[in-house]
Amino acid sequence: MAGQGSSIRIGDRDRDRAVALLGEHFSAGRLEIDEFDERCRRATAALYRVDIAALFSDLPAPHPEVLSAPAEVEPRGAGERSPRRLRASAVGVSIVVAMLALLVVTKQVWIVLPMVGFWFAWFATRK
């Protein structure tokens, strides 16, 4: 894996997947316990794709998906949101506004309870 994609940083999900696949290779008898421990240690400390590729270079499939995933051509800015996330936020805000309108029109205080529950369920789980 010696290309522009080798300098791409990986995340926790990629490291966890690499450790899980190393476990599959260990259970298949392809790795000794000491080698498995060493590779798992290196996988949890890996920062780049090339670090993960080195762990699987002498092993048959399965390999982590991060090794076959194409590199992102143009990464998003730190503050930029995807269109899907923007749509999801718009839906959440629309529902909250509709519930507030219902509260004002009907003057029913009980409307506030589902609205507060929805607010926490919708927005507290979003990153």
Look up residue 95 and give its DSSP letter: H
Q: What is the pLDDT along the chain (127 residues), one digit of tens a residue?
A: 445 556 889 999 999 999 999 999 999 999 999 999 999 999 999 999 999 999 999 999 888 888 776 655 445 555 555 666 666 667 767 776 777 777 778 777 776 677 677 767 766 666 5
Query: Does residue 77 lie within any of the structural domains?
Result: no
- Six-digit token pair at 63? 């390999």
Query: Does residue 76 lie within any of the structural domains?
Result: no
Same domain? For 61 and 14 the reply is yes
Same domain? For 87 and 47 the reply is no
- Rounded to the nearest angstrom, the gap between the alpha carbon of residue 31 and the centroid of all alpha carbons in its chain is 28
Query: Does residue 75 lie within any of the structural domains?
Result: no
- Six-digit token pair at 25? 């290779």
Same domain? For 55 and 105 the reply is no
Can you tell me whether residue 48 is helix, strand or coil?
Answer: strand
Domain count, the chain: 2
Q: In whole angstroms, what is the distance from residue 12 CA to residue 117 CA?
A: 31
Look up the pTM and report it: 0.52
Q: In whole angstroms, what is the distance from residue 27 CA to residue 20 CA?
A: 11
- Residue 74 is predicted with a pLDDT of 47
Q: Which residue has the tokens 């400390």?
A: 45
Q: Residue 54: which domain range?
A: 4-68
Query: Does residue 74 lie within any of the structural domains?
Result: no
Query: Does residue 73 lie within any of the structural domains?
Result: no
Q: Which residue has the tokens 């290309």?
A: 3
Same domain? For 40 and 95 the reply is no
- Residue 106 is predicted with a pLDDT of 79
Same domain? For 10 and 52 the reply is yes
